[in-house]
Structure formats: C-alpha cells, structure tokens
Amino acid sequence: MAYYRWKPYVPVARRRATAARKVKQLEKAGKKIEPVEIAGRNIAHTFWGKAWCSHLERLSDFANRLPRGRTYVRNGSVCHLAIAEGRIEAIVSGSELYDVVIDIEPLPAGKWKRLREQCTGKIGSLLELLQGGFSDQVMGVVTHREQGLFPNPGEIHMRCSCPDWAGLCKHLAAVLYGVGARLDQQPELLFRLRGVDSAELIAADLDPTGAAGRAGGGRRLQSDDLAGLFGVELDEAPEVPLEGSRKASPVPPRRRPERGEGRGGSPLAAPAAAEFVPSSDSIARLRQRLDLSKAQLARLVGVTAATVSNWEKANRELNLQQRPLFALRKVAGMSPEQAAERLEAAQRPRARRRVTWR
C-alpha cells in the first residue's frame, strides 16, 4: 500500500478492545495508567474544566481539529493521561496506541505577578479558589485569553506518534480536552502544569465579612458549607458539656503554670467574655494566656487551625460572624484549667460534632 494512503477504518469497539489488552500489558510492566472517563455528553462540569475547554475553543489555531478530539475523548480513546509540571503525557487509542507528549511553558513571572496583584484580597481560601467560587472580576482575570492562567498556542509544544502530519491531530486534540476532564477532579493540576503555587493567590484574611470580601464582591466558602459542598464529614470537635452541667468534670485542685503569668507568679487576669474584642493581637494573647496551640484554640471555637492562623495574620480588628464570635468570647472567659479540661473532654470517644455553645 502506498505511504500516502490512510489505514483502513477500525470500529471503535474493536479499537477499545485492542487498547484494553495493550494497556493491561503496560500495567503489568509497572506503568501507572490513568484513563480519562467522560460521564455523559459534557466533557467538563466544573469551573476549571469548563474554563480550560472554553479557552481551547477560543484559539483559532486549534479550531479545525478540535471537533474530532471531542469525539475521541468522549468514546474513551484517551487510555492514559498524566499531568506534571510543564508536561502532559498520554496514550490515545486510534488504529493503534499512540503516544502523546504536550509540553507547556511555565507561566511567565511577570504575568504571575500581575495575576497575584489583581487577585489580592479577593480569594479567601484554597477551597474557594479550586471550586471557582469567586467574583466575576477575579474570574475574568484568571481566565483572560492573553494574561490569564491558561497557555496560549505559542506556549504549547505538541507531538504525537501517529502518522498525521497536522500540527494538531485528533489524538492531540483528544488529550487537550482530556485535560479539561481531569481538571474537574483535580483543579490544582492546572497550577502545577504552569509551574506556579496556587497558595500565592490566597488572601490572608478568611473573614467573609471583612474588607477583602467587600472589595472582591465574591462568594466566600463558609466552614458550615464545606460538608455539603464536598459530601464529606469534616473533622470537627465533639460537643463538650459546659461548666456547671451534670457532666462537667471537676476543676483540678492544682493549677498548671502558664506562660502568661506576670511577675511574682501572679496570673494575668482573664478579660470578661463580653468585653473580648477579636483582633489579631487579642487572639494571639488569648492563646498565650491559655497556653493553647492554634489547633487547640480552633477545636474550642469550632473552626479550622488555618482559620485561626489567618485571624492572627490579618493584623487588624476582625469582623466575625456571630457563631465564632460567641465561641471566642466564651473561651476568653476561661481559665487555663477550664480550657484544658474542655479539650480533654473533647478527645473522649463520642459522636463527631462541632462544639456547641449554649
């Protein structure tokens, strides 16, 4: 047969059966196989996956070959797809198995700096970033065709082992769409691919009612919403009986020395609960007086250790919601012994529930 003739058409079912046998051989040889599986007609369902696919479709360089790629990725032809820093490696089933390698240039330092400056104070948490739960302004910044996170044609270098001489064959197009499907499951891979740290886009202030939240105009993920959002049970502190109830444990007769003692061994007086004003300094002083780590204070208040850390980094007075504010004021009225007693009770085997302040 002449070299310029295409190989005979092979039905999809036969191609998939052949590919499955060869993939099993690769697995037995020790290669980790990560296939792309598409559920339904839509290739991507989340913000980052859809944004990646939309970006591809806006690039005129890729317009002619993308439709064939959509067909290939939907019928399960992308047998393996792995994303690393600056590189995408894949195996695509066609007339035979083809090896695909796509090199992505790292995001230029100047562009990344501008992105950080434009997003400062507008993204409250890593969860919010990866879920795409931010304002339209930030969304426009990160998805900008020229200045956003996604690579442009000049930054993408592709090669496929198939005989198609086109710059973008259907196998490469299928892999590019497969990346969008993979970002549905692991959106952090986009930042890894571009060689940047997603944490650099996160604002220090996680307070949903603070100035950063007002400036950005975006949504904030609340800790109460996380279990429903991800369908998992958060590791929260169990309910602890309050002082004075029947189940409250007696206060130990001897007091443990605390770091916040004044001269002569006299303890620093605890402020009245109602007078406690939450700020970065007051929360740090509270932890010092009660001799608590950030994780321990977080357990008492019913938030995460990262939230306490960000409270202390905010360097200003905090505008908290009623629930954490009430809990903080309760903790501020405790002695070190009472705080230790409550933490000890919280570690006893019980149903995993948040500390409830009554």
Domain ends where: 190, 216, 242? Answer: 216
Q: What is the pTM of this model?
A: 0.54
User: Is 42 within a domain?
Assistant: yes
User: Is 299 within a domain?
Assistant: yes
Query: Based on the domain organization, do 21 and 156 belong to the same domain?
Result: yes
Domain ends where: 157, 188, 216? Answer: 216
Closest CA to 269 of 332, 338, 328: 332
Count the alpha carbons within 13 Å of 291 in the hemisphere toward its beta carbon.
Answer: 16
Cβ distance 56 to 179 under 8 Å?
Answer: no
Query: Based on the domain organization, do 184 and 279 belong to the same domain?
Result: no
User: Is 119 within a domain?
Assistant: yes
Specify the pLDDT at position 172.
92
Alpha carbon distances (Å) from 254 to 33, 155, 278: 60, 67, 30
Query: Based on the domain organization, do 158 and 206 belong to the same domain?
Result: yes
Q: What is the pLDDT of residues 136-156, one digit of tens each?
A: 788 888 888 888 999 998 899
Query: Based on the domain organization, do 98 and 186 belong to the same domain?
Result: yes
User: Is 282 within a domain?
Assistant: yes
User: Is 225 within a domain?
Assistant: no
User: Is 356 within a domain?
Assistant: no
Query: Based on the domain organization, do 94 and 37 belong to the same domain?
Result: yes
Owning domain of residue 324? 234-346
Count the alpha carbons within 13 Å of 310 in the hemisphere toward its beta carbon.
Answer: 21
Query: Based on the domain organization, do 122 and 197 belong to the same domain?
Result: yes
Sheet of strand 87-93: strand arrangement: 78-84, 87-93, 97-104, 156-160
Specify the pLDDT at position 334.
87
Contacts of 12 (CB under 8 A, 6+ apart): 75, 77
Domain ends where: 157, 190, 216? Answer: 216
Specify the pLDDT at position 222.
40
| CATH number, domain containing residue 289 | 1.10.260.40
Q: Which two tokens stand for residue 299?
A: 């357990």
Q: Give me the long-range contacts of 50-56 (CB less than 8 A, separation at least 24).
A: 50/180, 51/132, 51/142, 51/143, 51/150, 52/150, 52/179, 52/180, 52/183, 52/190, 53/177, 53/180, 54/143, 55/143, 55/145, 55/148, 55/150, 56/176, 56/177, 56/180
Q: Which two tokens stand for residue 243?
A: 């002082």
User: Is 319 within a domain?
Assistant: yes
Confidence at 88, pLDDT banded by 50, 70, 90: very high
Q: What is the pLDDT of residues 344-355, one digit of tens each?
A: 877 665 444 445
Query: Based on the domain organization, do 250 and 144 belong to the same domain?
Result: no
Query: Based on the domain organization, do 209 and 239 belong to the same domain?
Result: no
Query: Based on the domain organization, do 53 and 110 belong to the same domain?
Result: yes
Question: How many structural domains does the chain have?
Answer: 2
Query: Based on the domain organization, do 107 and 188 belong to the same domain?
Result: yes
Specify the pLDDT at position 203.
53
Confidence at 235, pLDDT banded by 50, 70, 90: very low
User: Is 229 within a domain?
Assistant: no
Beta bridge partners of 78: 92
Query: Based on the domain organization, do 58 and 194 belong to the same domain?
Result: yes
Distance CA 112, CA 117 (A): 9
Residue 140: Cβ-neighbour burial (10 angstroms; 0-12, 13-18, 19+): exposed
Query: Based on the domain organization, do 341 and 242 belong to the same domain?
Result: yes
Q: What angle do CA 329, 334, 339 make, to 5 degrees?
A: 110
Please check the confidence at residue 97 and state whether its pLDDT lies above 80.
yes
